[in-house]
């Protein structure tokens, strides 16, 4: 009962409910250690604050937004590095080919001076070392520089520029990986702090209000006296689909403690069940192409969790379009 969630979305929802409950009932129940201010501070750390009028004060991102931004930036800088490396490989291959008339089109011992020592003229995935060696070769042999090879300058200076572009992109990529790791660690710490705050609130409430007090609901918790089974869903509404579609749309209110729901339909005239489906959310679609149009159905919903299944809603009668 009242398990503290692990995932971000339900933690935020519970913090919102808890802070609202503390605002309304905190003083009345004698909440001393986990009041509204503490709950909202924990919530704000995760979600941030919106900007004020005319951006005064400016928005302050929360730990989740900071991590999201760090991930996006890391992906962008990694993509930039890959692009720079790809462009630089093309540049290096062009400059390598410009030396074919002098050093030969296949590897031989003369290529060692240009930095190709491994018996191959292949340009590696990261061409930085190759560019540095070509820069040194052109600097030592300026007569073999070519100012324009199909629009590319094969010179020591151009090789240095290409090498620096890779170095800068690599440094930026490495930094964003560090930043993303830091942001993720801060986010996880924020989640842990939120779970601790909610755990402490639950413990404090258990000491100051009875297990069957309705105010547990105001704080986002179930009453400890409640059954572990889910409540029966309420407000089942059936909407007909397009004419001839043999489809009905079902919608109902979330039930406390429900993990999923069972949507059922029986033919009203015979009581024969013609539809039964598990759905994760509080809505479902009933499509029965084999049933005649205008067939009247009785539709019910039950809520389910690991403990058991609720009683069904009162049946709602609807005709297939």
pLDDT tens figures, 12-38: 999 999 999 999 999 999 999 999 999
The ranges of the chain with pLDDT < 50 are: none
Residues 262, 265, 270: CA angle, nearest 5 degrees:
145
Strand order in the sheet with 283-287: 237-240, 247-251, 283-287
- Nearest CA to 263 among 208, 300, 291? 300
* Residue-level pLDDT at 229: 85
Options 1.20.120.450, 2.60.40.10, 3.40.50.9100, 2.60.120.460; CATH of 237-319: 2.60.40.10
Give the per-residue pLDDT at 256. Answer: 85
With contact defined as beta carbons under 8 Å apart, do 304 and 279 qualify?
Answer: no
Please check whether residue 278 is in contact with residue 260, taking contact to mean a CB–CB distance below 8 angstroms: yes
Is residue 288 within 8 Å of 265, Cβ to Cβ? yes
Which of 248-259 are b and which e, b meaning 16 or more Cβ less than 10 Å from the residue's Cβ? bebebeebbbbe
Locate the DSSP E strands across 89-213.
146-149, 152-154
List, by residue range, all CATH 2.60.40.10 domains of the chain.
Answer: 237-319
Rg of the chain in Å (alpha carbons): 33
- DSSP structure class, residue 309: B
Which residues share a beta bridge with 303? 261
For residue 156, give the H/E element and its range: helix 156-208
Which pLDDT does position 274 carry in this prediction? 96
Cα–Cα distance, 144 to 133 (Å, whole number): 14
**Contacts of 176-181 spanning 24+ positions with Cβ under 8 A:** 176/70, 176/73, 176/74, 176/76, 176/77, 176/78, 177/74, 179/70, 179/73, 179/74, 180/67, 180/70, 180/71, 180/73, 180/74
**Tens digit of pLDDT for each residue in 268-304?**
999 999 999 999 999 999 999 999 999 999 999 999 9
d(CA 152, CA 140): 20
- What is the model's pTM? 0.73
Distance of CA 201 to the CA centre of its chain: 28
Place of tokens 């979305």: 9
Look up residue 264 and give its DSSP letter: E
């Amino acid at each position: 009962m009242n398990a503290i969630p692990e995932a971000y979305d339900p933690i935020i929802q519970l913090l919102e409910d808890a802070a609202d409950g503390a605002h309304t009932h905190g003083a009345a129940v004698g909440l001393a250690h986990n009041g509204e201010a503490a709950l909202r501070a924990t919530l704000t750390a995760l979600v941030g604050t919106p900007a004020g009028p005319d951006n005064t004060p400016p928005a302050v991102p929360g730990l989740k937004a900071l991590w999201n931004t760090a991930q996006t930036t890391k992906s962008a800088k990694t993509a930039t590095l890959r692009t720079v490396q790809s462009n630089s490989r093309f540049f290096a291959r062009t400059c390598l080919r410009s030396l074919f008339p002098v050093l030969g089109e296949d590897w031989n011992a003369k290529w060692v001076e240009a930095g190709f020592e491994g018996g191959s003229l292949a340009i590696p995935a990261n061409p930085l070392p190759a560019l540095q060696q070509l820069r040194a070769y052109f600097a030592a042999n300026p007569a073999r520089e070519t100012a324009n090879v199909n629009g590319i300058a094969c010179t020591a200076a151009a090789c240095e520029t290409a090498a620096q572009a890779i170095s800068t992109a690599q440094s930026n990529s490495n930094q964003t990986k560090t930043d993303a790791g830091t942001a993720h660690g801060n986010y996880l710490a924020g989640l842990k702090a939120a779970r601790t705050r909610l755990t402490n609130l639950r413990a404090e409430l258990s000491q100051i209000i009875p297990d069957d007090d309705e105010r547990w609901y105001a704080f986002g918790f179930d009453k400890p006296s409640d059954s572990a089974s889910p409540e029966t869903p309420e407000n089942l509404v059936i909407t007909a689909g397009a004419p001839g579609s043999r489809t009905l749309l079902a919608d109902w209110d979330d039930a406390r403690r429900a993990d999923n729901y069972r949507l059922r339909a029986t033919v009203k005239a015979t009581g024969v069940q013609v539809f039964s489906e598990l759905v994760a959310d509080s809505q479902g679609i009933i499509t029965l192409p084999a049933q005649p149009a205008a067939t009247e159905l009785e539709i019910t919903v039950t809520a389910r969790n690991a403990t058991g299944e609720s009683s069904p809603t009162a049946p709602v009668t609807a005709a297939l379009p």
